[in-house]
Amino acid sequence: MIHKISAEPRVSEKSARLPTLAGIFYPSEAEGLKAVLSQFFDATVTSVSNPKGILVPHAGYVYSGPVAAVSYSRISPDFDGTFVLIGTSHQGTVNSVSDIDWETPIGIVKADSEFAAAVTLPLDNAAAREQENSLETQMPFIAFRFPKAKVAAILMGDQSPAGASAVAAAVLSAVEKTGRSIIVVASGDGSHYVPAKKAETNDLTCLAAVKNLDVNAFYDALYAIQPSMCGYGCIAATAEIGKALGATEARVLTYATSGDASGDYRAVVGYASMEVL
């Protein structure tokens, strides 16, 4: 007898985006992931400041998870608005927004489809489904600490001043149209594969330049120092959005490198936590 083999389930345009990095960047089992995230937040000594935006890194949790938790700890776990997640496109895709839910080992992070529809950027759910750590690594943090929140995920390939301004304008237009309470999450790592001292000096000097939310000063520092920083456009867009929403300062909360986890400080990646308030 010949049995008909069932076709593999097809991913529809609106299907939840499945994890691609579970078991690689973070634990794939729910209880293990919850335990790791609990450890990060339990070890974070900070207070809620309810910022307009935050900067978080996007490496494997063993390296950057504790730094990301510092930023997320500044936000009340009762937050039930929309996280506007702006993540570096490592493939350099066109700046775009997605309106799909995100599946994690500990639950679904729901998309704010109405807000995403109001963002004046191309809608590209296919790009969001690609393996992109800048977006995916944030979703377990959101699912764990902010179960009532939704997300509008933006992929940012154009990191130029014009690209950052375009993303900021698109987000602010959506805020005006929808009246949403948002918190912007800039996903970006610091210097890549340089000695730890150089990474720290370069990264903190550049971030100090955006302290007063002066995006031009930030890009001037980037041009002068030329750090191998990932996600600087996301930081610039977040500063611009925060300033328009009433923020006055970008404050670095903590800084670490991959060397702090590996013990090898010869060629590291830098990770910063920052709030815009």
Residues 242-254 pLDDT 10s: 999 999 999 999 9
Q: Give the pair of three-digit tokens for residue 72.
A: 């997320």
Going by the DSSP 8-state scheme, the letter that residue 73 receives in this structure is T
Residue 236 burial by Cβ neighbours in a 10 Å radius (0-12, 13-18, 19+) = buried
Per-domain residue ranges for the chain? 30-276
The predicted model scores a pTM of: 0.94
Asked if pLDDT for residue 210 goes beyond 90, the answer is yes
* pLDDT, average across residues 114-127: 97
CB atoms within 10 A of CB 83: 26
> What's the Cα-to-Cα distance from 254 to each of 67, 75, 257, 260, rounded to whole Å?
7, 16, 11, 13
**Sorting pLDDT into bands at 50, 70 and 90, what band is 2?**
very low
Rounded to whole angstroms, the Cα distance separating 131 from 170 reads 24
Strands of the chain (E only): list them.
Answer: 53-56, 82-88, 96-98, 102-104, 107-109, 150-156, 182-187, 192-194, 250-257, 268-276
Contact of 225 with 249, CB cutoff 8 Å: no
* Nearest 10 degrees: Cα torsion 30, 257, 76, 121: -90
Distances (CA, A) of 86 to 33, 37, 104, 135, 142: 23, 21, 18, 8, 14
Q: Does domain 30-276 have CATH number 3.40.430.10?
A: no
Q: Which pLDDT band holds residue 5 (cuts at 50, 70, 90)?
A: very low
Q: What are phi and psi of 181, to 5 degrees?
A: -90, 115
Query: What single letter denotes the amino acid at residue 73?
Result: S
Q: How much is the pLDDT for 15?
A: 93
